[in-house]
């Protein structure tokens, strides 16, 4: 028998054991919410220090990429007329209009090519805060993509913790996913002071666990 054949045999014998081992762990995915120019300082709806989370998110991306775990990134992606905006009855200044510079990802964010891109806030009659209201370019919902990939636990980062991150985390928990809130990779708008703190308390009460990079060896 050639040495190559012997090697192949070992590979075939070890694969099922590794697969069994994997089954014991929950399948994880990383969710990056709305890290876009308009939500960073200088943008139409700048979140204080919103840009500062990019290097942390990049580290989480590296960890997930290395393990070949799915990475999702949402973009707030509004039409020009939507009830989300002040001019049409909402609370927000115009931001993240489809295909504008403000709607592009922050330039410091390093998304790998396998990132699954999702668009949210695309319907004029809804705010569309939650990633669970987002869809890919073929109209597939975030939930259907998570199910198809067998994801059980979602690691959530991004902007803003008191709106889209909070709504996404609460929807995830309601749908039965485990949620890890990446404390070094989120920032809040704080329309009212302490909105971020209140949002964190609400998410934790509903079952989210707070973690930072050092908890996962980053
Ligand atoms: C968001 C306000 C308005 C968010 C989106 O991404 O948190 N906040 N639109
Ligand atoms: Zn918006």
pLDDT digits (tens, 9 = 90+) for 153-208: 999 999 999 999 999 999 999 999 999 999 999 999 999 999 999 999 999 999 99
The candidate with the shortest Cα–Cα distance to 65, out of 28, 33, 36, is: 28
CB of 94 within 6 A of ligand 1: the answer is no
- Mean pLDDT across the stretch 81-93? 97
Judge residue 188's burial from the number of C-beta atoms within 10 Å of its C-beta, 0-12 exposed, 13-18 middle, 19 or more buried. buried
Q: The CATH number of 26-216 is which of 3.40.1390.10, 3.10.20.30, 3.30.9.10, 3.40.50.850? A: 3.40.50.850
Grade residue 25 by pLDDT with cuts at 50, 70 and 90.
Answer: confident
- Write out the E strands in the chain: 28-33, 71-76, 116-120, 153-159, 178-187, 209-211
CB of 131 within 6 A of ligand 1: the answer is no
CA-closest residue to ligand 1 atom 6: 164
15 has pLDDT over 50? no
Grade residue 66 by pLDDT with cuts at 50, 70 and 90.
Answer: very high
Grade residue 3 by pLDDT with cuts at 50, 70 and 90.
Answer: very low
Is there a contact between 63 and 23 (Cβ–Cβ < 8 Å)? no
Number of H helices, E strands in the chain: 5, 6
- CA terminus-to-terminus distance, the chain: 44
152 has pLDDT over 90? yes
Q: What is the residue whose two structure tokens read 């703190």?
A: 197
CB of 159 within 6 A of ligand 1: the answer is yes
CA of 74 to the centre of ligand 2 (A): 11
138 has pLDDT over 80? yes
Atom index in ligand 1 nearest the CA of residue 33 equals 6
CB of 167 within 6 A of ligand 1: the answer is no
* Predicted local distance difference test score (pLDDT) of residue 148: 97
120, 166, 180, 187: the active-site residue: 120
- Mean pLDDT across the stretch 93-100? 98
* Predicted local distance difference test score (pLDDT) of residue 2: 47
Rounded to whole angstroms, the Cα distance separating 201 from 43 reads: 28
Rounded to whole angstroms, the Cα distance separating 30 from 155 reads: 5
Question: Nearest ligand to the C-alpha of residue 36?
Answer: 1
* Predicted local distance difference test score (pLDDT) of residue 21: 43
The full length of the chain comes to 218
Whole-model pTM: value is 0.89
| Percentage with pLDDT > 90 across the chain | 87
- In the annotation, is 215 catalytic? no
Rounded to whole angstroms, the Cα distance separating 82 from 176 reads: 31
- In the annotation, is 120 catalytic? yes
Rounded to whole angstroms, the Cα distance separating 134 from 128 reads: 7
130 has pLDDT over 60? yes
Grade residue 116 by pLDDT with cuts at 50, 70 and 90.
Answer: very high
9 has pLDDT over 90? no
Grade residue 218 by pLDDT with cuts at 50, 70 and 90.
Answer: confident
Between 25 and 105, the more confident residue is: 105
């Amino acid at each position: 028998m050639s040495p190559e054949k012997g090697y192949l045999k070992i590979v075939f014998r070890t694969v099922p054991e590794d697969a069994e081992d994997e089954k014991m762990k929950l399948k994880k995915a990383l969710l990056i919410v709305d890290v876009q120019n308009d939500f960073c300082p200088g943008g139409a709806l700048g979140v204080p220090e919103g840009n500062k989370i990019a290097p942390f998110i990049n580290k989480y991306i590296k960890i997930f990429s290395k393990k070949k775990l799915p990475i999702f990134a949402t973009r707030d992606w509004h039409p020009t007329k939507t009830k989300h905006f002040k001019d049409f009855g909402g609370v927000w200044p115009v931001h993240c209009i489809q295909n504008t510079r403000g709607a592009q990802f922050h330039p410091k964010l390093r998304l790998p090519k396998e990132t699954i891109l999702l668009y949210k806030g695309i319907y004029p009659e809804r705010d569309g805060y939650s990633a669970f209201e987002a869809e890919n370019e073929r109209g597939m919902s975030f939930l259907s993509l998570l199910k198809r990939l067998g994801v059980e636990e979602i690691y959530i980062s991004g902007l803003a913790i008191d709106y889209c991150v909070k709504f996404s985390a609460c929807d995830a928990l309601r749908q039965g996913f485990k949620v890890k809130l990446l404390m070094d990779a989120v920032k809040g708008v704080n329309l009212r002071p302490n909105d971020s703190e209140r949002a964190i308390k609400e998410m934790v009460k509903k079952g989210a666990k707070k973690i930072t990079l050092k908890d996962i060896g980053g």
